[in-house]
């Protein structure tokens, strides 16, 4: 769902990290991350007609990509970013 065209069409939230845009799904993010879950429970994110956009400013793009892939698949394919991933994971 993260990388295929149909998944992008059904996304309901945009995550912006370092100038890159990721189309994602709140139900998956909420199920796998208590931080995203709390974020999407906030009244501002529930307003009808309001675009669901989240700016993430304190994580490197390449680290966020690996972390987002982990959220969707439960797998990490790179050990190069281990420390950065641990720091980012602590935030989500």
Residue 48 has pLDDT above 60, yes or no: no
Q: Which two tokens stand for residue 16?
A: 């912006």
DSSP codes of every residue in 10-41: T--EEEEETTEEEEE-HHHHHHH-HHHHHHHH
42-81 b/e with 16+ CB inside 10 Å = b? eeeeeeeeeebebebeebeeebbbbbbbbbbeeeeeeeeb
CA atoms of 77 and 86, how far apart (whole Å): 14
Query: pTM for the full model?
Result: 0.72
For residue range 54-65, what is the model confidence (pLDDT) as tens digits?
899 888 898 898
Residue 17 has pLDDT above 90, yes or no: yes
């Amino acid at each position: 769902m993260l990388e295929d065209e149909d998944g992008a069409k059904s996304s309901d939230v945009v995550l912006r990290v370092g100038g890159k845009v990721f189309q994602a799904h709140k139900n998956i993010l909420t199920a796998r991350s208590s931080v995203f879950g709390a974020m999407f429970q906030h009244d501002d994110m529930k307003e009808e007609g309001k675009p669901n956009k989240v700016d993430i400013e304190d994580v490197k793009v390449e680290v966020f990509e690996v972390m987002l892939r982990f959220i969707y698949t439960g797998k990490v394919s790179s050990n190069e970013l281990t420390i950065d991933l641990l720091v980012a994971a602590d935030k989500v």
